[in-house]
């Protein structure tokens, strides 16, 4: 099943077990819980490089904090980390969710049997309404919410975005922008069918802002007016070339 976007949190239990942690360790602990919950099976690979990448670690100190929390609160089974209490809650949530889904299916089946006993005109109306609801639900399902497990698609090296990032943004800055992007859309509870497109736009806007702030003119600044002017100039050039060809063939008169 699709991982539920929430899990039960018990402040007293958590407070007692992690009261001795530093602020950094506390943050790493909760980030690991979120990462586990949003990963299939509520477990994560026994790969500190992979985990550090997902948790947006930026230094060896961050990785050391992460490893200490993993050693104290997580166990390894079949080469994957898991948190015992979180996994129990995960299994309970799955069971409850499955029960609700099964109940919904049984209720839908009963309704369909009842609908079949209605007149043909009402059945047609019901069919039309069901089709509308289906389309609505389909659109709703396709709108996803970004989460901490979001991995942007690799940028095409031939695109403007890639060239801007390669020239004007370090790997640390890129990681920071990814964290800000996820935090922003998580807070806004943004729903989108293409977060990768929004991620590319976010990067472009960030570089443009950086260039404007520093006054760097090494990369041409693009805005709507500039882009429209370039399109217009290109079209006029093509029309001029076509007119010259027609004139050379005697198919058009010189003005």
DSSP string, the chain: -PPPS-----HHHHHHHHTT--HHHHHHHHHHHHHHHTSGGG-EES-HHHHHHHTT--SHHHHHHHHHHHHHH-EEETTEEE-HHHHHHHHHHHHHHHHHHHHHHHHHHHHHHHHTTS-HHHHHHHHHHHHHHHHHHHHHHH-EE--TT--PPPPPTTSHHHHHHHHH--HHHHHHHHHHHHHHHHHHT-EES-HHHHHHHHHHHHHHHHHHHHT--SS----HHHHHHHHHHHHHHHHHHHHHHHHHTTSS---
- Digitized pLDDT (tens) for each residue of the chain, 255 residues in all: 446 667 777 776 676 788 899 999 999 999 999 999 999 899 999 999 999 999 999 999 999 999 999 999 999 999 999 999 899 888 888 787 777 777 777 665 555 665 565 555 554 455 555 555 555 444 445 677 877 667 788 888 888 788 888 888 887 788 788 878 887 888 778 888 888 888 888 888 888 887 877 766 554 445 555 666 676 777 778 777 877 877 787 766 665
pLDDT of residue 70: 96
pLDDT of residue 168: 84
Count of alpha carbons within 13 angstroms of residue 175, beta-carbon side: 11
pLDDT of residue 115: 59
pLDDT of residue 31: 94
pLDDT of residue 1: 44
**CA-based torsion, 156, 157, 163, 165: positive or negative:** positive
Q: Model-level pTM?
A: 0.41
pLDDT of residue 112: 60
pLDDT of residue 249: 77
Between CA 124 and CA 146 the distance in angstroms is 39
């Amino acid at each position: 099943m699709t991982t539920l976007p929430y899990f039960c949190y018990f402040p007293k239990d958590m407070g007692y077990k992690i009261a001795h942690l530093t602020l950094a360790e506390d943050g790493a602990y909760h980030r690991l819980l979120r990462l586990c919950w949003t990963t299939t099976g509520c477990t994560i690979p026994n790969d500190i490089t992979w985990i550090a990448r997902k948790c947006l670690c930026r230094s060896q100190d961050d990785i050391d904090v992460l490893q200490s929390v993993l050693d104290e609160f997580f166990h390894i089974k079949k080469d994957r980390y898991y948190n015992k209490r979180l996994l129990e809650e995960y299994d309970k949530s799955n069971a409850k969710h499955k029960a609700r889904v099964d109940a919904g299916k049984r209720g839908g089946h009963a309704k369909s049997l009842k609908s079949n006993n209605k007149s043909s005109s009402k059945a047609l109306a019901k069919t039309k309404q069901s089709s509308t609801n289906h389309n609505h639900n389909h659109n709703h399902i396709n709108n996803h919410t970004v989460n901490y497990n979001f991995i942007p698609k690799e940028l095409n090296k031939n695109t403007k975005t890639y060239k801007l990032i390669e020239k004007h943004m370090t790997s640390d800055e890129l990681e920071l922008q990814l964290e800000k992007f996820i935090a922003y859309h998580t807070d806004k509870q943004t729903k989108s069918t293409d977060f990768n497109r929004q991620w590319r736009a976010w990067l472009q806007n960030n570089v443009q802002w950086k260039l404007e702030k520093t006054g760097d003119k090494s990369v041409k600044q693009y805005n709507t007016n500039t882009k429209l002017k370039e399109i217009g100039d290109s079209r006029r050039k093509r029309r001029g070339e076509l007119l010259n060809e027609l004139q050379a063939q005697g198919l058009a008169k010189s003005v």
